Structure 1
Amino acid sequence: MNAAHLARLLLFWLCCAGANAGAVIPGDAATVADTVYQNFTYEAENAGEVFLVWKPVNYPVTDGLNWNEDTRAEDSLLYTPMVGEDGRFSATLKLPVSAEFYFCFWITENDAGDIRDYWDVRVGATVAATPDRTIHRVGTVEGEEVSGVGIRDLYMILFGLLLVVYVVLRWAGRQRLRDRGVPAIHRILALGGALALLHLIARAEILGVTPHAALTNPRWTVVTVWAASLQDLLLVAGLVLLGWAAVAAARSRSQERWITAGFTVVTLLLAFTSQVNVDTVAYMGNPFTYQWLYYSEFLTATDAWSAIGEQASGGRVGELLAACLGVLVLSRIMELVLLWLPVRLGTLLLAGGLATAVIGSALLAHHRPPQAMAGQLGNAVTTFVGSVISSDAPSAFSEATLPAGALPFAESEYPLAAPMSLPDTTGRVRNLLFIVLESAGAVYFNTYTGQRGLEEPLQPYLDQSLVFEEVYAHAPSTNCSLVSLLTGIYPKLSYESVTKELTTVDFPSVPSILSERGYRTSFFSSADQSWQSGMEYLQHRGFDIVKDYRNIECEEQFRVDLNNYKEGGGIDDACLAEQFNNWVGEDTTTPFFSVLWTVQAHYPYYFKGEEHDYGVGNFSLNRYLNAVRHGTEVVDRVLQDLRRRGLDSTTLVVVTGDHGEAFQQHGHSGHGNTLYEEDLRVPLYFINPVLFDGRRYDGLAATKDIPATALSLLGVEVPEAWQGRKLLASRSDEVFFFAPWTQLYFGYRKGNTKYIFNETKNSVEVYDLAADPYEKRDLSATVPEAAIDSARIRIAAWVQSQSKLYDSFQ
């Protein structure tokens, strides 16, 4: 669940911030003859694999990469593997003689060989190369105190420097301070000025402005960041105007003091928010919204609290607070400087400076980087407040006036040009098994032009499979796919979850239908199904038994345990195979239906064993590919067990993904954010040695079509209330999808043309997937308006039809 990512991302920001905080003006790149060797040792009990993570300050990152053969780069950081044994690790870097660099440590495995994701930034520091001395650090767990200069110490040093300046100015102006004091309006304006400066710095980080770019092209940097900060500056200016008005209306000095105290608290909260927003936008491509707050069950979900607790135990929040307190000290310095000026002149300078910043940002709007996504320009507070206000507002599609014939909505459906002939297996193929691979995006499978070798465990079964080439989840979210996969309908087109809001709704599902026909039914998940009331929802769908990671016996548990660098909530997906095998037992006469739902390909991509290098140059993506491959190995094991029991020919095995996973292809990571191919497109294999011979289905399909198609192959009548199609009897040239959690997106694919409508920003993107499968070239400016209008009408008809359906459930 993505709420947990937000807290973990704080670690990465601190790693980058630590490097930038100590940045100096770069000098000339050193030559190879000017290099030295810097040794590191790191002690971390229970750690099995550690990377030294570092970033040059006064020389190019490319030099650090080129001079250290085992080092890899990602997001301007360098990763060097450390050699270790029994909790003690070492590494040596080749550096320029005068090198300054930031470093910290990343624990990627514990001593049991389990994949972990623990960033030890507390022992990090920005230092100069000292070839005659080994840099030694002791790992931190559960907030242990350590020696050495860490990130927190660095922040405190910078904070201390500001304090020194403040103390000097206060001493120099002590008499003036006694004589006239600090006017309340000066305090308001100074706080606003310091807050505006912090927002500009945060916006530069969001836009990816590096110190090198800022120093080599300062004019471009200032103009770009200034132009992109309009929402931030408007918020600060509005806050200052409110504070100014409140001070003007105050009738006593006591009231003024209360007003400025309240304004100070609000300023510090906004300063903290601006820094956290850097991480949020980096991961989701958008500031945090009310819809995401709902999605995380208002931060009550287990993994969200685990991640938050992890940050608190490591002192991360304290480090951010130390950085934000600099705003307070800086504002006090500004107040003291103004003591040497007439009150009116000081007021004019501060107010004029803030007004100039706002007006200048508005005038420079055309200089905003064209490649910046809308979410990169949004202010955290205004975005969240706007999402709260609009959370229950109807979309433009739901209120659009439709032309005659648009309703009732019906998905396009045509007879297959060449009907797919299958053997007559009446009474033979009667068991049904769904295996859902968590976050498995089709774009990463070699069958779907993805990474080579990813689906190797499934290779032996391709000649007894039917592979569906163009299959989409209706939303990049597990709970939405759960609804469609079990009940054959579109999920609710809302940020609200069917599993949570309509937990007990009476609607025909695959298990309830098959239970009436004498089937045994079960649902086994290696994840935590309590999220969004998933467990309760499943228990009302007609399953005989429902189990998740909490009540499935498994030696490999993924739970939060910082002492062993363990985290998460789940079990090894391999235990699903054992659980299913035990449940099936030796009863080969009673038909069964079961669902196996994996978890390990969910962030942070847990798996055990040797990590295969897919050559993708991205640590997270490589872990993800290994985790997905582990899921396909579970499929292989289940298929072998079925064959051993003689059930392979009588069981239809459906293997699919619940949604995809993004790795910054379009400026965001994870899932639940947008509607690009990496977010939505999923693999789909129907496996049975009697029915299939390796053919492919190239029509468009979606998750809601899977249950109808599967039941039809079993000879079971499909309920009329279902919206899914029987894929082997027809084809369609359109598919619909949505994502409401960051911004409100509706999507539609017609043939090879894909439309993505952003309701929040009132924009549209158009892609030709035949010529541009990775969606790099937006054609919205060249596509005829009539085609876009036609897509709007189809989406509006779909939205209004679904609203009517779900209104009937209330």
Structure 2
Amino acid sequence: ITHKVRDNGTFFLENREVTLAEKMREIGYQTYGVIASFVLLSKFGLKQGFDFYDDSLNIDEMEINFNSEIKADMVYAKFRKWFKKRDKEKKFFAWVHLYDPHAPYKPPEEYLDKFGHHLEGGYNGEVAYMDKYIGKIIDELKAVNLLDNTLIVLTGDHGEAFGEHNEMGHSIFCYEENLKVPLIFYNPEVFPKRLRINNRVNLIDIMPTILDLYRQEIPEEIQGTSFIHFLFKDKKEEERTFYIESMHGKEENGWAPLTGIIDDHYKYISLPVPELYDLGKDREEKNNLFKKKNRLARTLDKKLRKIVTEYSKAGSGAQRKLSESDTKHLQSLGYISPFSNTDKSDTNIDPKSGILLDNRYLEIRKKID
């Protein structure tokens, strides 16, 4: 909430924010980042702390071109090129961004043959293709005897919906298919025993956890919490409360903003038509308990308001005006629909209703085209 980067492509990270790359560089690490998508270009403020931030989106050019994304094989080639030339006398921090599992799903043909020539097969094929190149990066570390001395963290920033709640993709809602992502911490020396964490953790917990592992001070302004204690013991603790939001419907279509919290096994979503789910009994979020458990919903709504108030800062948000080129890039990646509402003035349309209209409009447009 605090950094106010609420959506892709229309916001930028301000210099006052502290990044993990900055903290690692402070303790003597050479820092490297390579990205695979337009939405992470340096102009969005994301290169803070990196000695070299490769956002060229081209294997041969070290300047920004007009591609919107690159595949895992090119990202791996870029990483390998840097890895061979890095300062061998210094430790390194590398962020390798892979973008393959995004629509339209177009893995190599052999992956479609394996997983199926259909939508989910395409998605699974892109995940597998990406995984192949993660393996190649690990092989690079093995080849120079660095794997045992390297902390590897693998994660994703969103799930993917396949129509469970009328959404295809990951931008509009905060249902479990949108929110749940893999998170793996790997080092055979530090974590010799395989362990699965049963407690819910958050992506904003990754930075403080890494800093904790490296015995570094965690900045006060960091909202996440280190879960280092979970990495060394198989014990479930009381669940923390997590804030969730999606502003994409608001930013693109002027729909009502979606905010909510996950508190113990309940998820509350604040919308014109509010939602309350018992995730312990209803993982697919089909049974809205808002009316049946209205008192609980109101309690969670107050808790949500308190969280938002506590962590929001005064001042204007870090928003930027889209150029024509920016808009074309975001459209090619699916973050902006070519048919979206050009009037971004806020409405009170619930995204659940808005997406039905949007889907219908897309169907009609496809038939016309």
Shorter chain as denominator, the TM-score bin is: 0.7 to 0.9
Equivalent residue, structure 2, for 1:492: 4
Structure with a larger share of its residues in strand: 1
RMSD of equivalent CA atoms? 2.8
Equivalent residue, structure 1, for 2:68: 569
Structure 2 CA distance, aligned partners of 1:701 and 1:592?
Answer: 26
SS of the residue aligned with 1:599?
coil
SS of the residue aligned with 1:666?
coil
Structure 2 CA distance, aligned partners of 1:543 and 1:806?
Answer: 27
Structure 2 CA distance, aligned partners of 1:583 and 1:709?
Answer: 26
- Once the two structures are superposed, residues 657-708 of structure 1 have per-residue CA deviations (whole angstroms, 9 ceiling, x without a partner) of 0111111011111121111111111110011111222101111211111111
SS of the residue aligned with 1:747?
strand
Structure 2 CA distance, aligned partners of 1:748 and 1:527?
Answer: 29
Structure 2 CA distance, aligned partners of 1:772 and 1:614?
Answer: 32
SS of the residue aligned with 1:737?
strand
Equivalent residue, structure 1, for 2:331: none
SS of the residue aligned with 1:736?
strand
Residue 769 (str. 1) matches residue 276 (str. 2): no
- Kept in 2, the 8 Å contact 1:512–1:542? The answer is yes
Residue 750 (str. 1) matches residue 282 (str. 2): no
- Kept in 1, the 8 Å contact 2:148–2:188? The answer is yes
TM-score, structure 2 normalization: 0.73
User: Where does 1:447-466 land on structure 2 (aligned, <5 Å)?
Assistant: none
Structure 2 CA distance, aligned partners of 1:660 and 1:710?
Answer: 23
The partner residue of 1:656 within 129, 152, 155 is 155
- Kept in 2, the 8 Å contact 1:490–1:704? The answer is no
User: What stretches of structure 1 move > 3 A for 4+ residues in a row?
Assistant: 499-504, 533-536, 586-589, 612-616, 729-732, 805-810
Structure with a larger share of its residues in helix: 1
- Change beyond 3 A, Cα 1:504–1:592: same
Structure 2 CA distance, aligned partners of 1:768 and 1:503?
Answer: 35
The partner residue of 1:804 within 289, 313, 330 is 313
TM-score, structure 1 normalization: 0.35
User: Residue 71 of structure 2 aligns to which amino acid in structure 1?
Assistant: D
User: Where does 1:369-768 land on structure 2 (aligned, <5 Å)?
Assistant: 491-492=3-4, 494=6, 501-529=11-39, 534-539=42-47, 541-553=48-60, 569-585=68-84, 587-612=87-112, 619-692=118-191, 693-729=193-229, 732-742=239-249, 743-758=256-271, 762-768=272-278
User: Residue 794 of structure 1 aligns to which amino acid in structure 2?
Assistant: K
- Change beyond 3 A, Cα 1:804–1:491: closer
Q: How many residues align?
A: 301
- Kept in 1, the 8 Å contact 2:172–2:248? The answer is yes
| Structure 1 residue 542, shift from structure 2 partner | 1.6
User: Where does 1:77-226 land on structure 2 (aligned, <5 Å)?
Assistant: none
Structure 2 CA distance, aligned partners of 1:735 and 1:494?
Answer: 16
| Structure 1 residue 612, shift from structure 2 partner | 4.0
Structure 2 CA distance, aligned partners of 1:641 and 1:493?
Answer: 34
Structure 2 CA distance, aligned partners of 1:788 and 1:547?
Answer: 46
- Change beyond 3 A, Cα 1:602–1:611: same
Structure 1: stretches of 5+ with no match in the other structure: 1-488, 560-567
- Once the two structures are superposed, residues 317-352 of structure 1 have per-residue CA deviations (whole angstroms, 9 ceiling, x without a partner) of xxxxxxxxxxxxxxxxxxxxxxxxxxxxxxxxxxxx
What is the percentage of aligned positions where both structures have the same residue? Answer: 27
Structure 2 CA distance, aligned partners of 1:619 and 1:657?
Answer: 23
Structure 2 CA distance, aligned partners of 1:598 and 1:805?
Answer: 34
Residue 778 (str. 1) matches residue 288 (str. 2): yes
Structure 2: stretches of 5+ with no match in the other structure: 231-236, 250-255, 320-369
Structure 2 CA distance, aligned partners of 1:806 and 1:710?
Answer: 30
Equivalent residue, structure 1, for 2:323: none
* Greater gyration radius: 1
| Structure 1 residue 808, shift from structure 2 partner | 9.7
User: Residue 34 of structure 2 aligns to which amino acid in structure 1?
Assistant: F
- Once the two structures are superposed, residues 115-139 of structure 1 have per-residue CA deviations (whole angstroms, 9 ceiling, x without a partner) of xxxxxxxxxxxxxxxxxxxxxxxxx
